[in-house]
Homo-oligomer: A and B are copies of this chain.
């Protein structure tokens, strides 16, 4: 499957931003102003809230990546943004809301229903995007994955050998089955955790970090809530990619 570029603009500073579709899946590619050699690529993960809503944060991350010489790309998640609603996912979200409103703990069943189908569906799409992106002359390897739904990052780290390093954001529910997959992860990991993220299970995040089999793994926990990742944490994550992908 090939990318079809649907729009193109130069951002201030010279980064080239191109929207594309890959079959039914929309996405965005950012490439650095002047790339003499094919640029290494960072896949920008994001929560399932729609690319339009996530755009300001995504473009900021892409600019940071481009300044370090990386191309960056992202695709819409299934059931999000302009993609068709997904009844099972909507149901799981409704169950999650109901549990929250009733003050009940979020059950393993809800977490499984919320995350596992999303991982099963999204990961092959990210892999197809990789196939298409890496066939462009301006993009080379190696590839890093950054942020978004942590279980998608874990699955990609296990299943996709072209992903050589990952920055994971421990800020979403983790199905029990993912702890087993985590034990199979061996690439270098840089894991971000917001210490005061009220919607997140801190102990589960620590357990997941413990489970990774990577020889190089670092946990970077910072004060603040879910969206309060400090600027300097972004810089440290960028240094991690520079260390492993260039």
Interface residues of A (CB under 8 A from B): 195, 206, 209-210, 214-223, 230, 232-233, 235-236, 239-240, 243
Contacts and interface: CB of A to CB of B under 8 A. Distances in A.
Contact of A206 (B206, B222, B236, B239): B206
Nearest to A220: B220
B243 A232 contact: yes
A221 B219 contact: yes
A43 to B, nearest CB: 22
Contacts of A214: 223
Contacts of A195: 209-210, 217, 219
Nearest to A203: B206
A169 to B, nearest CB: 15
B230 A216 contact: yes
A221 B209 contact: yes
Nearest to A218: B222
A217 B206 contact: no
Given A195-B210, A206-B206, A210-B195, A223 B216 contact: yes
A232 B222 contact: no
Contacts of A243: 232
Nearest to A236: B236
A195 B232 CA distance: 22
28 contacts: A195-B209, A195-B210, A195-B217, A195-B219, A206-B206, A209-B221, A214-B223, A215-B223, A216-B222, A216-B223, A216-B230, A217-B222, A217-B223, A218-B222, A218-B223, A218-B230, A218-B233, A219-B219, A219-B220, A219-B221, A220-B220, A221-B221, A232-B239, A232-B240, A232-B243, A235-B239, A236-B236, A236-B239
Contacts of A233: 218
Which 5 pairs between the two chains have the least Cβ-Cβ distance?
A: A219-B221, A218-B222, A217-B223, A220-B220, A236-B236
